[in-house]
Chain A
Amino acid sequence: MWRNIGIVFMKELIDNARDRRSLLVAFIYPLLGPILLGLLISALIGVVSTKPTERAALPVTGLQNAPELAAFLTREGIKVVPAPADPESAVRKGSVESVLVVSPEFAEQFANERTARISVVVNSSRLPGLLALNHLAGLLGKFNREVWAQRIAKRGIDYRIIQPLAIESVNVAAGQHIAEFLLFMVPPLFIFNLFMGGVYLAIDVTSGERERGSLEPLLINPIERWGLMLGKYGAALFFTAAAVAVQLIAFRVIFQMVETPDLGFTRTLDILAILGIFVMTLPLMMLAVGVQVIIATITRSLKEAQTYLGLLPLVPAIPGLVMVFAPVQAKAWMMPIPVFSQTVLLGQMVRGETIELINVAVSMSVSAAVAALLILLAARLYDQEKFIFGS
């Protein structure tokens, strides 16, 4: 029997290795996620590592109302340039990143030692805008502290008495932080790819075989129906595993190519970690192929199978996508949930958290058990005439 399963497995492997579409999905699609992520990270690093001199030109209106501020800016090496007539629309259009607006009342308020108003116009939906805001806030904060220290000293108080903390908010890690945020895309990309890798093969060997009319002659050979199913299942699993391996290796290669400041995950994803992730998610691969084989078998036609299974990979990727913005802490109750547990564990790896072995064990064994049930169910489907003849 095992020999016959092997024969079916090899036939499906060779057959599908000649199918450009199966190869594309198993070996080229997995590269897209890592490449996309690599491009995003390197673009981001490019933006945030803009040289300070490029940021030194600051459009300001009404600076004549604030000579003290003007002197401060000069001391800080900021080159003040005239601001556009309509600062808000100019910033919205992106012709300047930021405009500092000094109100006409500033001079009087400042002279009377009252809180004086100053506006910073930025577009924080753009990353350079966010960085300009960060920069300006730091700059103005420094001015604030200087003036405040002078005023309090005039009254004979050492400002250090009422300033318990001197907070130097020099955010050198801004770019790194955002790049790390992008790395949270790794789990959903991984899960999507895992559910995508063997899908065409799973359809081709089940629904496709039936629609071509090659299933009936195949069933007349002396092999158990479940054995036949297992051979086909194995081939789809092989392609899924190939897609997962290709993607993991691609992540590593891309992370090494992109010049990042030390991002935890990009450095810890070594061969051992890749192997670990592969083994950890193997039960999920088995489960994914089980779902695919069952759906492709019970759908009435090849087209129907392709429609359902084309959408399927998106569904398990959803938790991971949500967790990009709302990360969750790994909890024990999450581990028996297939897809979710793997997403959480991968998220932990990406964030550089320590993974508890018991969690991995629970995740793997429950997913493997569900996969086994699905395989059993698929084997039983192959004993039913209505699925053999598709009517």
Chain B
Amino acid sequence: MIEARDLRKSFNAVTALDGVDFMARDGEVTGLIGPNGAGKTTALRILYTVMRPDSGTATIDGYDTVRDRQEVQRHIGVVPDSRGLYPRLTAREHVRYFGRLHGMTGQALEDRILELDRTLGMGEFIDRRAKGFSKGQMRKVAMARALVHRPRNLLLDEPTNGLDVASSRSVHTLIRELREAGHCVLFCSHIMQEVANISDRIVVILKGRVAAHGRPNDLLREAGVDSIEALLLNLMGEVEHVA
């Protein structure tokens, strides 16, 4: 379970987060949506421990992301905003490196890599060096190293950005499987169709604040619109109006 309470964060004069509250539950997929620059990535970065909030708290399974950073890190798997690979390491070595940093060793780790290989379909390139990987292959490696330690919570920043239809679909399938297994999945995306399709709950972030949250159908009904896109445009209009 992931909880954000009144998160605030500024970069020099720019306010990225202006009091963000939301919750992502176990066994559910929570989608963060909002236009570019709304604060989605900053919120995720605080949750996955690479940034500290100016104020407010974030907890993962009850652990504070600042105070109990390493405990939080053991409980999360992340495909972050930047997800570069090491061009001179093979896909398997990438996953092994992260697995070891999570304290895994020996046969247990190798078995887990095999398992991920089957789940993600990395067979043809798992022992090739990452230089020259396609975007789809790179994303699979990023997913595999995020999942290697069987984290309870998953945070994915634009998990299908730049992928073709088939690769996107396999990521969606994986997300659904993780939800079925009781994991808490939090992801952000600017592809509205994707969010509508796979999210159990939606959190709309606009200008560093939560503009709306709830189940997609409830949100659509309340707003009297028939697509997430229209909902977002409506909300953006309101925020502009208020401002």
Interface residues of A (CB under 8 A from B): 4, 7-8, 11, 14-16, 18-19, 212-217, 219-224, 385, 388
CB within 8 Å of A: which B81-122 residues? 81-89, 93, 97-98, 100-103
Contact of A15 among B50, B81, B89 (CB under 8 A): B89
Decide if A388 touches B88 in the complex (CB within 8 Å). no
- Residues from chain B with a CB closer than 8 A to the CB of A212 are 84-87
> CB distance A388 to B85 under 8 Å?
no
Interface centre among A4, A215, A216, A388 (most CB of B within 10 A): A216
Which residue from chain A places its CB closest to the CB of B81 in the assembled complex?
Answer: A216
**Nearest B residue to A4, CB-CB:** B101
Chain B residues lying within 8 Å of A14, measured Cβ to Cβ, are 89, 93
Neighbouring A residues of B79 by C-beta, 8 Å? 217
- Select which of A4, A215, A220 is within 8 A of B78 by beta carbon: A220
- A388–B50 CA distance with the chains assembled, in angstroms: 8
Query: Is B187 located at the chain interface by the 8 A CB criterion?
Result: no
Interface size on B, residues (CB 8 A): 33
Nearest-CB distance from A232 to chain B (Å)?
Answer: 13
Q: List chain A residues, Cβ under 8 A from B97.
A: 7, 11
Q: Judging by beta carbons under 8 Å apart, are A214 and B101 in contact?
A: no
CB pair A221 B98 closer than 8 Å? yes
Interface residues of B in 43-58 (CB under 8 A from A): 48-52
Q: Closest CB-CB distance, A245 to chain B, in whole Å?
A: 24
Bound CA span A16–B86, Å: 10
Q: Is the interface of A mostly helix, strand, loop or mixed?
A: helix
Asked, given contacts A213-B84, A222-B73, whether A7 binds B89 with beta carbons under 8 Å apart, the answer is no
Residue-wise, chain B 48-81 has the 8 Å CB interface mask toward A (1 for contact) of 1111100000000000000000110110101111
* Distance in Å: Cβ of A309 to nearest Cβ of chain B: 20
**Contact indicator B88/A217 (Cβ below 8 Å):** no
A7 touches which one: B49, B78, B100 (CB < 8 A)? B100
Cβ contact within 8 Å between A220 and B86? no
**B residues in contact (CB < 8 Å) with A:** 48-52, 70-71, 73-74, 76, 78-89, 93, 97-98, 100-103, 129, 142, 145-146
Q: Which 8 pairs of residues, A with B, have the shortest CB-CB distance?
A: A213-B84, A213-B82, A212-B84, A221-B101, A214-B84, A222-B73, A222-B70, A18-B88
Residues of B within 8 A of A11 (CB): 89, 97
Name the B residues within 8 Å of A216 (CB-CB). 50, 80-83
CA separation between A4 and B73, bound complex, in Å? Answer: 14
Residues of chain B within 8 A of A15, CB atoms compared: 86, 88-89
When C-beta atoms are compared, the residue in chain A nearest to B50 turns out to be: A219
Residue of A nearest to B78 (CB): A220
- Given A15-B89, A222-B71, 9 extra CB contacts under 8 A: A11-B89, A214-B83, A216-B50, A217-B78, A217-B84, A220-B73, A221-B73, A221-B102, A222-B74
Nearest CB in chain B: distance from A384 CB, A: 10
Let me know if B101 and A217 touch, CB within 8 A: no
Q: Are B73 and A217 closer than 8 Å at their CB atoms?
A: no
List the B side residues contacting A4 at CB < 8 Å.
101
A7 to B83, Cβ gap below 8 A? no
Q: List 6 A-B contacts (CB under 8 A).
A: A14-B89, A212-B85, A213-B82, A216-B82, A221-B73, A221-B102
The distance from the CB of A8 to the nearest CB of chain B, in whole angstroms, is 8
- B103 cross-chain contacts in A, Cβ below 8 A: 222
Chain B residues, CB < 8 A from A220:
48-50, 73, 76, 78, 80
Q: Do B85 and A7 touch across chains, with their CB atoms under 8 A apart? A: no
Q: Are B88 and A7 in contact (CB under 8 A)?
A: no
Among B81, B88, B97, B101, the most chain A Cβ lie within 10 Å of the Cβ of B101
The answer to whether B102 and A217 have CB atoms under 8 Å apart is: no
Q: Closest CB-CB distance, B155 to chain A, in whole Å?
A: 9
Q: Which residue of A lies closest to B73 (CB)?
A: A222
Which chain A positions have C-beta within 8 A of B81? 216
Q: Which residues of A have CB within 8 Å of B51?
A: 385
Please give, as numbers and ranges, the residues of chain A lying within 8 Å of B74 by CB-CB distance. Answer: 222
| Complex contacts, B93 vs chain A, CB 8 Å | 14
| Closest A residue by C-beta to B79 | A217
A8 to B97, CA, bound (A): 8
